[in-house]
Structure 1
């Protein structure tokens, strides 16, 4: 008889019990889920009827702005600099030692028109004036002498002509007497010789007069040259002083007493303090817009602002001229505006960086609206009876957050300024503070 293995028998018994225990663990969750589904269905089937709320159209709370058709012009904002309209470099016109310099001749000093800034030693130039004056006086005396000699020769020629006439008449009588035998041939020859001598003397006087006239003309020309020499000497003497040509500000000085200046050496540079101008560049587009305006560019008034210590100094200027050609390196046309003499809190100085506002082209029958009004660069939305209506427009110009438009707009109608992602024709809107419709479903923007 074969013996029984107790360990094998126990293991088989345990496996049989484990399978029986898995059945309730699987069935229990399934029963719970089934019961839940059944209960939910019963609750849905037995729930009471709830009254449905009728659908409401969404209304957007928006801002609008009225359309005002008028002549509008954009204001162009550019930057520029102040510059002196008139500057001068005073250079030595004559050479010499500097003997005098104006005491306050320093950079930044104000000088008045006619003030002597620098004076060069006058000694040699005064001597040149004296010498030229003496030479001129001598030339005048020689001219007077030549004219007197000419007058003497002209007065004596009449006597020589008279003597020749007498001699010719005596010769005619002698020829008559020779035929009658009252005079010899020798007497006739002597009279013919006298006539020849008298004619020769008259010709000599006439030639002498021509010579004296030439001398007078020659001396007159020499006199003009000496007069110019005297004027030159006097001018050189006057040029020993460098004088301020206008009221201005000194920008540089390079002179000291005792220094030797040569001709064309720079002594003083200055600019006219009451003739400043604003210089700026308009782009091709900006200049084209202004040029198409009926009002000319030159003569247009502009506003200029100079920020000094955080405080704006405001003044006006008038466009005086426009550059002769487009400056490619600066990307536009250079414009020069003259600044009239006016009182400001601070003195204007060349080189200052300024902000400039230039009136642009006038667009008649247009509306000025916020930039947020325009959708797609070609249309806006008007509010008509609480709904949006599309209006086709053309953007004429942008102006510092505003836009100038023309097109299908009516004076006085209100247009949408609030940006709405769902914007479209017929969208329902209302403004804050207006009566709220009973069926409104508000979408705040």
Structure 2
């Protein structure tokens, strides 16, 4: 019994070793397939050549073409004010905005006209007296033996005539000034305008040169748009444009026109300012408000090339997918936007790679995911 207890474990160990050895010896080893590397997977977009104007986009603030301080040229008491002459009010060209008391100036005009009448009488008397003096001298000269005697100015009444003429001219000027001052008591709008602010009221005494209010024109609105050097290269003046406002929570487009550029490049920003105009900005519904910050889209010169994603352009080079291989193509960037670039050097239908790769060689194998139209 004791012998069996010793032999049985040893037997079991031998059987286990033999079984493991046989299993390993006769186990089938799976056949390993060799995997063929076909290159990285890339995304592409199909290039399409176009020939159309470049759209230049800039930003600026709407401002009036003309701004005017309403300033009286005479002093006096404000007698009437137009009901439209209020902050935000609209006034028409020629509309009376402020009327200053006329009484003093009407009196001044009558006095000037009376003085002119007196000076006119004196001048006519002097003319008659000069005519008589000349006739008398001719009579005297007729009886003199010598015909070479020259009369002095007093004899011909010339100084008196000159003084009377000067007094008459001064009186004419006084009447003209009196009329002008009387007209200046009426302050009118020089053009269709909107009132920015009013600084006077009924019954107030206003002095010559005091600002009574500020107006700005409403026939044209200006948008001054700073442009980068690349934009200037594609700019043509004049040109069609569109001004887009988002003041009311949605994009509202207003027809506009590029009319000019300012006289010099800004020395600090190195940008050129272009002036885009919108005619009759308050005729639209809703109107284009003064002070609104807007986007200006300007129709530039015509260009021919391909628009591609900005990420596809790599320092003047583009990767093209062709026949399962990557090809490096040199391009020239004509115009650059935030997310796209306009280039030459590509053919219509080229598959432009947009995927970023770590290491690239011309002719390397690639796999194309799917082409998208651009």
Residues 208 and 355 of structure 1, relative CA distance in 2, 3 Å threshold: closer
* C-alpha contact (below 8 Å) 1:278/1:317 kept by paired residues: no
Larger-gyration structure (1/2): 1
Inter-partner Cα distance in structure 1 for 2:81 and 2:195: 14
Residue number among 123, 142, 158 corresponding to 2:103 in the alignment: 123
* C-alpha contact (below 8 Å) 1:317/1:338 kept by paired residues: yes
Higher mean displacement: 52-61 or 351-360? 52-61
3-state SS, counterpart of residue 176 of structure 2: helix
| Cross-structure match for 2:62 | 82
Q: How far is 1:65 from its partner?
A: 2.8
Inter-partner Cα distance in structure 2 for 1:114 and 1:391: 67
Residues 91 and 289 of structure 1, relative CA distance in 2, 3 Å threshold: same
3-state SS, counterpart of residue 296 of structure 2: strand
| Cross-structure match for 1:142 | 122
| Cross-structure match for 1:366 | 305
Inter-partner Cα distance in structure 2 for 1:333 and 1:311: 29
1:414 partnered with 2:359: no
| Cross-structure match for 1:252 | 197
Inter-partner Cα distance in structure 2 for 1:270 and 1:41: 107
Q: How far is 1:209 from its partner?
A: 6.3
| Cross-structure match for 1:308 | 247
3-state SS, counterpart of residue 77 of structure 2: strand
Inter-partner Cα distance in structure 2 for 1:254 and 1:106: 9
| Cross-structure match for 2:3 | none
Residue number among 82, 92, 116 corresponding to 1:102 in the alignment: 82
1:379 partnered with 2:324: no
User: Which has more helix, going by share of residues?
Assistant: 1
Inter-partner Cα distance in structure 2 for 1:232 and 1:254: 28
Inter-partner Cα distance in structure 1 for 2:63 and 2:211: 21
Residue number among 227, 230, 233 corresponding to 2:175 in the alignment: 230
Q: What count of residue pairs does the alignment treat as equivalent?
A: 360
| Cross-structure match for 1:291 | 232
| Cross-structure match for 1:4 | none
| Cross-structure match for 2:337 | 399
* C-alpha contact (below 8 Å) 1:301/1:317 kept by paired residues: yes
Q: CA RMSD in A?
A: 3.4
1:207 partnered with 2:147: no
Q: How far is 1:159 from its partner?
A: 2.4
Q: How far is 1:52 from its partner?
A: 4.8
| Cross-structure match for 2:26 | 46
* C-alpha contact (below 8 Å) 2:222/2:275 kept by paired residues: yes
Stretches of structure 2 lacking an aligned partner (at least 5 in a row):
1-5
* C-alpha contact (below 8 Å) 1:379/1:391 kept by paired residues: yes
3-state SS, counterpart of residue 412 of structure 1: coil
User: Which has more strand, going by share of residues?
Assistant: 2
* C-alpha contact (below 8 Å) 1:377/1:395 kept by paired residues: no
* C-alpha contact (below 8 Å) 2:93/2:189 kept by paired residues: yes
TM-score (norm 2): 0.83
Inter-partner Cα distance in structure 2 for 1:40 and 1:245: 113
3-state SS, counterpart of residue 144 of structure 2: helix
| Cross-structure match for 1:220 | 165
Cα deviation 1:109-164 (Å, max 9, x = unaligned): 11111111111111111111111112222222111111111111222333223323
3-state SS, counterpart of residue 151 of structure 1: helix
